[in-house]
Structure 1
Amino acid sequence: MGDPALSRRGFLAASAAGLGMTALSACGGGGSDGGSSGTTTIEWWNITTTEPAKGVWASLARQFEAQNPKVKIKIVALENEAYKSKMTALTASGKLPDIFHTWGGGVLKQQVDAGLVEDLTDSTKSWSNSLLSVARQPYLLDDKVYGIPFDMGMIGFWYNKALFERAGISAPPTTWSAFLDAVRKLKSAGVTPIALAGKEKWPGMYYWAYLAMRTAGIDALQKASDSKDFTGAGFVQAGQHLKDLVQLQPFQTGFLGAAYSTPTGQAAAVGNGKAAMELMGQWAPQTQKSEGKGIGKDLGFFPFPAVEGGKGSLTEVFGGGGGHAVRKGAPQTAIDFLKFFASAANDRTLVTKTGVIPVVNAAADALTDPNLKAVNEQLKTATGFQLYLDQAYAPAVGQEVNDSVAALIAGSKSPEQVTQSITKTAKEEQ
């Protein structure tokens, strides 16, 4: 989702004397600019740092300002993990931006429980029903609305059809054993099978999360969170399956130091035809084109494979979307901007120009990309849905999932140690 160049904990230490403290003092101050103009400045924090989306979002902000001459939208765009680190600090300080990106789930709940987030139930009732129900779910807490979605989707494999053909792979694998065979075939053909941003821990988490869903079953993830115990056999098996993949050395050279959205990162490796696959969300095609060249008609999509003998199903999906929440006490203008952003016309613009999947029912006709249609169809026929683990769980638990899985991929933790570390952190959160 969402969603790591530095760990949250490491970033907090590194930023204490720098931009992090500047951000702490700058937030929570929406309203008059103090001058004679009576202008209301709204601070909007998001993770849209790559083109074309960054430019499209800035354009929408300028349109809103043109329609509301007394309003100024100040955009603060941060890379995924830097954003999460700063928001952890801001939550602790009790000062959030006027409008801020959220993936919903346990992180949003923590902010709501701290009294930092505006209840949008009544103020959005007249128009929020125009949004897809599944897209709204992550932002509903105790049947109250605390966020408005702008994107919805799932994590799956984006692959290069031409490289698969070169390796003699006639169709995307549907089982884990077939997936491992495909990795072997790609390596034999001299093709890097998978690109991974090892420096940013969240992309690696996707593998363990999906494997846990496929082995232990999707319900086990919630039960483990409730019981504070992730040491069950299915979770250990998930780590072992991931270890089996890592032992094939499927990732690009230098992957442990690679970022996600940089010219030498994960997305660029796939976008430039240097790697055959990446496990990523619905934003992947646009990021591949933004950081690399993009592979056009050679790009395909397939869901995460089933694991033989596992309790999970191929039709159970992992992912989420993006949404916006509003700080408690923010100006009404902030909510007005969310309504503007969620209009059918603007959602069509987002779909056609930035590659998101529509969340406004009336904008569904704007979806034409065959791969995104495939994602959308997979979502519509899903028999289960699991939110990103680093958002579904309490922040410390989600971070430990990311950290421990990264350690497994790097070879410094065993599958058993991963489950023990996550369990220890979950119990400490009680």
Structure 2
Amino acid sequence: MGDPALSRRGFLAASAATGLGMTALSGCGGDSDGGSSDGTTTIEWWNISTTEPAHTVWAALAKKFEAQNPKVKVKIVQMENDAYKSKMTALIASGKLPDIFHTWGGGVLKQQVDAGLVEDLTDKTKPWADDLLKVSKEAYLIDDKVYGIPFDIGMIGFWYNKALFKQAGITEPPTTWGAFLEAVSKLKSKNITPIALAGKEKWPGMYYWAYLAMRTAGASALQKAYDDKDFTGPEFVQAGAHLKDLVALQPFQKGFLNAAYSTPTGQAASVGNGKAAMELMGQWAPQVEADAGKGLGKDLGFFPFPAVDGGKGAITEVFGGGGGHALRRGAPQAAVDFLKFFASEATDLELVKKTGTLPVVPGAESAITDANLKAVQAQLNGATGFQLYLDQAYAPAVGQEVNDSVAALIAGSKSPEQVAQSITKVTKEEQ
């Protein structure tokens, strides 16, 4: 799974091999006037649900909406993640976007909003969007206005092997960074590989630096540093120093620098086969562990990224993201109606039950049956702060530099100070 953005939208719903699944790719919703001579309104919906079961479930939902709204026709365009991003980049340049389109929020959505291409949904969705899970909506808020509606949400945390923890004498998951480092040492003393890491793919390592920056500086500091074009503050250097302390314990599996994420010998399989005690990954991790390896079943547990002693950030501040929908500027009312339908409890229940999505409608939480996913949802419900994935929150070049610099720190070729300086340099160049 080379593209973290694909995995982040919920690997539980997309564990099959991806492919180009495009239908009705003729023109774009930006060209339509929303109506026809017989009074039918056609809305074009672009999404990235090309894999099963989501592909079939989403198509059925479109049919259900049409049945409830006889004068509306939904034209679906489904594309694999990378193809979608490329096509959307071209459309942004042309100034024409689809009526309804997939968004991760953050920096890319802001670019579209700044270009005047996206509908302000603040008033149009207020009566029903106010009830959605608060943390799920943050990525789509720009200047306190709503430009997107979430359909799923997730977070990064530690997935661990309870049996291996017990073997090492660790009775409770660590809640502080100091206790986490102690747990790593205990595992090593029992000849247990503490952590699996896909060093080859870089983005899994970035999660450590991002969370440590949140814990030392506070959840809002990462966006502030980006806006200020300066990551050289002491807390960001300290975050790198904390990660360097972890690396010094040699916690990762042999050959981790050449390891991929979802291959039979990669990060997920190492945990799923009981060869490593932990991985830092999103809510899709259990499915990938089972797909790439055997899976841990009842021995699998979850805990949030620990707090840093003396840091400004709290353990209840979350690093993660999800998927949402936005509308082109001037999209017909039927497109707003579709967003309301997609964000309803009935639809969310179907998504949770059939695709493993974590709900954004509180009433749909009853459909979660997995104990670990319930734990993830509880963390999201109690979140006191939120930071979107950095490669979505920031300009693409900046997100890539974070990945590259943190990978270099983990490999021992960059210092914490150099990481902060490199990210700052690229941020200044991009803004």
Q: TM-score, length-normalised on structure 2?
A: 0.81
Q: Against the structure 1 CA distance between its residues 247 and 96, is the aligned structure 2 distance closer, same or farther, given a 3 Å change threshold?
A: farther
The correspondence of residues 29-428 of structure 1 with structure 2, limited to 5 A, is 40=42, 42-46=44-48, 48=49, 52-64=53-65, 71-79=73-81, 87=88, 91-92=92-93, 94-261=95-262, 265-330=266-331, 332-428=333-429
Deviations 1:375-422 (A, max 9, x none): 233233333332322233344333322232223223332211111111
- Structure 1 position 149, deviation (Å): 0.7
Distance apart, 1:347 and its partner CA: 0.6
Instruction: Give the residue type in structure 2 aligned to 1:157.
Output: F
1:27 Cα deviation after fit: 5.6
CA distance in 1, matches of 2:91, 2:29: 10
**What is the letter of the counterpart of residue 230 of structure 2?**
D
Q: Hey, what's the Cα distance between the residues in 2 that align with 1:54 and 1:287?
A: 19
Q: How far has the Cα of 1:289 moved from its partner?
A: 3.9
Secondary structure in structure 1 of the residue aligned to 2:323:
strand
* Counterparts of 2:276 and 2:351, CA distance in 1: 28
> How far apart are the structure 2 equivalents of 1:267 and 1:59?
32
Matches of 2:32 and 2:266, distance apart in 1: 39
Shift in alpha-carbon separation, 1:196–1:63, aligned structure 2, 3 A? farther
Percent same amino acid at aligned positions?
A: 75
Q: 1:62 to 1:298 in 2, by over 3 A?
A: farther
Distance 2:306 2:400 in 1: 25
- 1:173–1:29: structure 2 CA closer, same or farther, 3 Å change rule? same
Whole-angstrom CA distance in 1 between matches of 2:283 and 2:126: 28
Cα deviation, residue 148, structure 1: 0.7
Alpha-carbon distance, 1:299 to partner: 1.5
Assess, with a 3 A threshold, how the Cα gap between structure 1 residues 147 and 189 changes in structure 2: closer, same or farther. same
Corresponding residue SS for 2:163? helix
The one-character-per-residue Cα deviations of 1:342-369 (angstroms, maximum 9, x if unpaired) are 1211111222333333211332333343
Cα deviation, 1:278-300, whole Å, max 9, x if unaligned, reads: 21223333443455443222111
Shift of 1:53: 4.2
Q: Which runs of 5+ in 1 are unaligned?
A: 6-18
Q: Give the AA of the match of 2:245.
A: D
| Matched residue SS, 1:42 | strand
SS of residue paired to 1:363:
helix
- Matched residues in 1 for 2:117 and 2:85: separation? 16
Q: What residue identity is the alignment partner of 2:348?
A: D
Kept in 1, the 8 Å contact 2:31–2:96? The answer is no
Cα shift at 1:308: 2.6
Query: What is the aligned-residue RMSD (CA, Å)?
Result: 3.7
Distance in structure 2 (CA, Å) of the matches to 1:408 and 1:82:
31
The more displaced of 325-334 and 149-158 is 325-334
**Distance in 1, Cα, partners of 2:31 & 2:172:** 53
Which amino acid is 1:71 matched to?
A: K
**Number of equivalenced pairs:** 412
- Residues in 2 aligned to 1:65 and 1:406: alpha-carbon distance in whole angstroms: 48
Deviation at 1:26, TM superposition (A): 6.5
Q: Secondary structure at the match of 1:340?
A: helix
Gaps of 5+ in 2: 8-19
Q: Is the 8 A contact 1:205 1:405 kept in 2?
A: yes
Report which stretch shifted further, 283-292 or 64-73. Answer: 64-73
> For residue 328 of structure 1, what is the amino acid of its counterpart?
R
Name the stretch that deviates more: 35-44 or 160-169. Answer: 35-44
Cα distance in structure 1, aligned partners of 2:4 and 2:129: 22
Shift of the alpha carbon at 1:171? 1.8
For 1:398 and 1:285, how far apart are their aligned partners in 2?
26
Aligned pair in 2 of structure 1 residues 267, 336: CA closer, same or farther (>3 Å)? Answer: farther
101-110 vs 264-273, greater mean Cα deviation: 264-273
- The separation in 2 between residues aligned to 1:243 and 1:278, in whole angstroms, is 17
Are 1:3 and 2:10 counterparts? no
SS at structure 2 position matched to 1:124: helix
Shift in alpha-carbon separation, 1:237–1:339, aligned structure 2, 3 A:
same
- Classify the secondary structure of the residue corresponding to 2:374: helix
AA aligned opposite 1:376: Q
**C-alpha distance 193-82 of structure 1, shift in aligned 2 (>3 A):** farther
Q: Distance in 2 between matches of 1:400 and 1:131?
A: 33
2:43 and 2:100 in contact (8 A); partners too: no
Distance change in 2, residues 1:381/1:128 (3 Å): closer
